[in-house]
Chains A and B, each alone.
Chain A
Amino acid sequence: MAETVIEKESKTKTGADFPWNVVVHNDPVNLMVYVTHIFQTVFGFSRQKAEKHMLEVHRLGRSIVWTGARERAEAYVEQLHGHLLLATIEKSQ
């Protein structure tokens, strides 16, 4: 399982401040090397960490690539959609 970036939040975990996951889903079109490149670009991941998440997407169908505040999670999903990755936001368990 790839390591997930968790943003430390001091706010209470209610409503919009509840921790939110940014999830990237598998699709058969995006190249593995492209997905790795986008993870490095958007999240500043090392090559090794980006590849871990990419392989998790490829093998398991999804990977939680970031967890934290709602507003920032939405911004990451927007960036990922800009790069045409299938990404969604979901409440962290």
Chain B
Amino acid sequence: MRITRLDANTVCLSELNGLVTELLRRVVPSADPGDNSAARARLYSAPTHDAEETEFLEDWEAYIEPELSKLFLSSRELIEADLQKLRIDPATGEGAICIPSSHIDGWIHGLNQARIALAARFDFTEDEMEGVIVPSTDGRAFALVQVYIYAGLQQLFLSQLEHD
């Protein structure tokens, strides 16, 4: 998995193996909290710990959370559209995708959404996140691999921003 600048306006991810290409396709569904209460609670966390701030909390829920929801959706839609350009080399089985560099922020955001929603949905412990404990089921283990791979992708994209 590597990232390169094709030109000033284009960034390419290449040498993507089968697992990574499959996980790329799962970014958007993983980032969407759907009806999962744990994922929703984490994506829409409280803006204050003061229980007496009822009016502020009500206003936040009524006016700010819908705006946050639109923002989160926009990142997922951007990634979904970019993924239409994912190509698999039939000879090697490796995937590659080129995206506009102006989409890097959207990818970083969408990957972060996916990591946070997955971690909340599966309620990963810190020991699991740090690799001290191996998850007890295949489903948990796979989700944890997703979180790790998405972190790697986030770091690749962040490294590109540093070069801008």
Contacts and interface: CB of A to CB of B under 8 A. Distances in A.
A86 B154 contact: no
A81 B155 contact: no
Contact of A34 (B45, B67, B147, B154): B154
Most A Cβ at <10 Å: residue of B43, B48, B151, B161:
B48
Interface string A10-37: 0000000000000000001111011001
Contacts of A88: 46-49
Contact of B45 (A29, A31, A86): A86
B161 A37 contact: yes
A84 interface: yes
B18 to A, nearest CB: 25
B50 to A, nearest CB: 7
Prevailing SS type, chain B contact patch:
helix
Contacts of A30: 112, 116
A54 to B, nearest CB: 13
Contact of B47 (A31, A33, A34, A87): A87
Interface in B48-106: 48-50, 56, 64, 67-68, 71
A86 B68 CA distance: 14
Interface residues of B, number: 30
Contacts of A81: 44-45, 47, 64, 68
Contacts of B47: 74, 77-78, 81, 87-89
B71 A82 contact: yes
Contacts of B45: 81, 86
Contacts of B158: 33-34, 37
Nearest to B155: A33
28 contacts: A28-B119, A28-B124, A28-B126, A30-B112, A31-B151, A31-B154, A31-B155, A33-B158, A34-B112, A34-B154, A37-B161, A74-B56, A77-B47, A78-B64, A78-B67, A78-B68, A81-B47, A81-B64, A81-B68, A82-B68, A82-B71, A84-B112, A84-B113, A84-B116, A88-B46, A88-B47, A90-B48, A90-B49
- Which 6 pairs between the two chains have the least Cβ-Cβ distance? A29-B119, A77-B47, A28-B126, A28-B129, A88-B48, A29-B116
